[in-house]
Amino acid sequence: MKCCVVTLGCQMNQSDSERIRSVIEKMGFEMTDVEEEASLIGVVACSVRQKAIDKVYSKIQKWNKWKNEKQLVTFVSGCILPADEVKFLKLFDLVFRMNELPELPTMLYQCGVTTEFSARNPLNDLQREDERTDFWQVDPTYSSNFEAYVPIQNGCDKFCSFCAVPYTRGREVSRASADILNEVQKLIDRDVKSITLLGQNVNSYGLDKKGEEISFANLLRAIGELGKKSGKKFWVYFTSPHPRDMTRDVIEAIADYECLAKQIHLPVQSGDEKLLRRMNRNHNIEDYLTIVSDIRELLPTATIFTDIIVGFSGETDEQLENTAQLMLDVKFNMAYIAKYSPRVGARAARWEDDITPQQKSERLARLTEVLKRTSYEHNEAMIGKTFEVLVEREDPRKAGALATRTEGKLPVRIVDAPSDLVGTFQRVEITSASELSLTGKLV
Ligand code: SF4
């Protein structure tokens, strides 16, 4: 019996899929990437992105047609808005939330899925097994043998006016630090080279369990100690933090441990005070610049990435220019700039989406030019210097080349290098730089 799990979303959805796959494999299914081969097909989607939702509908319509020809059970999970959940219940055999994952074998059994596992384990045993664990304790089937995502927190309490995540994933819940450290230790033992701590608001870690859990800074320190003790080389990242909870002790912790990567992804969304208030971001430009100055002081080699929305409801040309100025002041290495589109469920969806598609495209182009300028200045200064990189894969755009990243997550293409270096650290000398990438040779 084969199962196919399709992921349509962000790193969090990918991490959810890894845990779903693991539960299904334990039931006796063989995993496949070919939908046509599967008798159990699921989709893990982000219901806040309209594109992902459109794809879910087109997939389930196709799969439901297949049911005329073969036995097929379908399920959907991930970040699902309550309104979509109601519609999905009519189309899928099973809709579940990630915190119900331990109950998946029982739920599938109730949908008529019988496997060797369920034949061996009558329903009562399955239910007992469900009760033993929460979804974070499910060992994932990692999709890479040298990079791994580790969820540390789920949900969000921030309610930014443009975002529907608090309605799809619920309120912030921190995973037990003992579980996180246990998973990180297992990854270190497996010689994983890159670990990314995941959550909607990683740096508000522990705030929902004050007095019972450690802070985010102390979680980073505990991971740093594991790294130190192991004597192994690996890089630990986290995404995404919120500026409101980005305290100096987090940056100090990163400075103190070699394995904590010197790269900070800190979404700012806008460089305009009034727009930040309208976005309900709960931080101002001064707060943001203070964090940046702490990063520059304590982590002088760190790269800084951000997320920006252009064309948010009511955004003026002047407000866009304030964002451009902030970008010039911070000198971001990377900015993921998105054109605003209303998210069903989010507060701003009730406001007029008054910036035309053409204006949004022009604003995106304007900020992309600014990004290219600051990024190129940084990249150009790297020419002739040597850096350690992690080889991620064969370069899909150039035969015989490898796609790698520095500790600061800057992409470096190495030409004429053997493919068996994928998954290893290498030293490269930077030979040329472009606006958003670099080229180097093995040293
Ligand atoms: S954008 Fe705002 S509301 Fe959405 S997940 Fe991030 S902090 Fe939470």
pLDDT string in tens for the chain (443-residue length): 899 999 987 888 889 999 999 999 988 899 999 999 999 999 998 866 777 788 899 999 999 999 999 989 999 998 888 888 888 999 999 999 888 888 898 898 888 887 666 655 555 554 555 544 577 888 888 889 999 999 999 889 999 999 988 888 888 999 999 999 999 999 999 999 999 999 989 999 999 998 899 999 999 999 999 999 999 999 999 998 999 999 999 999 999 999 999 999 999 999 999 999 999 999 999 999 999 999 999 999 999 999 999 999 999 999 999 999 999 999 999 999 999 988 878 899 999 999 999 999 999 999 999 999 999 999 999 999 999 999 999 998 888 899 999 999 999 999 988 999 999 999 999 999 999 999 999 99
Contact 275, 310 (CB under 8 A): no
Q: Where are the domains of the chain?
A: 2-135, 141-380, 386-442
Q: Which of 48, 49, 158 to mutate to test the pocket of ligand 1 (most atoms within 8 A of CB)?
A: 158
Written as six digits, the tokens of 55 are 């794809």
The CATH architecture assigned to 386-442 reads Beta Barrel (2.40)
What span, in angstroms and rounded, lies between the C-alpha atoms of 382 and 391?
Answer: 18
Q: What's the confidence (pLDDT) of residue 132?
A: 47
| Same topology between domain 141-380 and domain 386-442 | no
| Burial category of 176 from C-beta neighbours within 10 Å (exposed 0-12, middle 13-18, buried 19 and up) | middle
Which neighbouring-strand residues pair with 78? Answer: 45
Which of 14, 18, 59, 16 minimizes the C-alpha distance to 38? 59
Q: Write the DSSP symbol of residue 259.
A: T
Question: Would the CB of 153 count as within 6 Å of ligand 1?
Answer: no
Question: Would the CB of 156 count as within 6 Å of ligand 1?
Answer: yes
Question: Would the CB of 200 count as within 6 Å of ligand 1?
Answer: yes
Distance 311 CA to ligand 1 centre (A): 18
Question: Would the CB of 266 count as within 6 Å of ligand 1?
Answer: no
**Can you give the pTM of this predicted structure?**
0.89
Question: Would the CB of 168 count as within 6 Å of ligand 1?
Answer: no
Q: Which of 173, 242, 245 to mutate to test the pocket of ligand 1 (most atoms within 8 A of CB)?
A: 242
What span, in angstroms and rounded, lies between the C-alpha atoms of 273 and 339?
Answer: 19
Nearest CA to ligand 1 atom 4: 163
Which neighbouring-strand residues pair with 236? Answer: 195, 260
Q: What's the confidence (pLDDT) of residue 181?
A: 98
Question: Would the CB of 209 count as within 6 Å of ligand 1?
Answer: no
Q: Which of 46, 49, 156, 266 to mutate to test the pocket of ligand 1 (most atoms within 8 A of CB)?
A: 156
User: How far apart, in Å, are the Cα atoms of 271 and each of 53, 282, 297, 321?
Assistant: 30, 13, 22, 8
Contact 216, 203 (CB under 8 A): yes
Give the fold, CATH level 3, of 141-380: pyruvate-formate lyase- activating enzyme (3.80.30)
CATH code: domain 2-135 is: 3.40.50
Residues 6+ apart with CB under 8 A from 356: none
Residue with tokens 């182009």: 365
What span, in angstroms and rounded, lies between the C-alpha atoms of 80 and 315?
Answer: 29
User: How far apart, in Å, are the Cα atoms of 161 and each of 260, 278, 426?
Assistant: 32, 7, 43
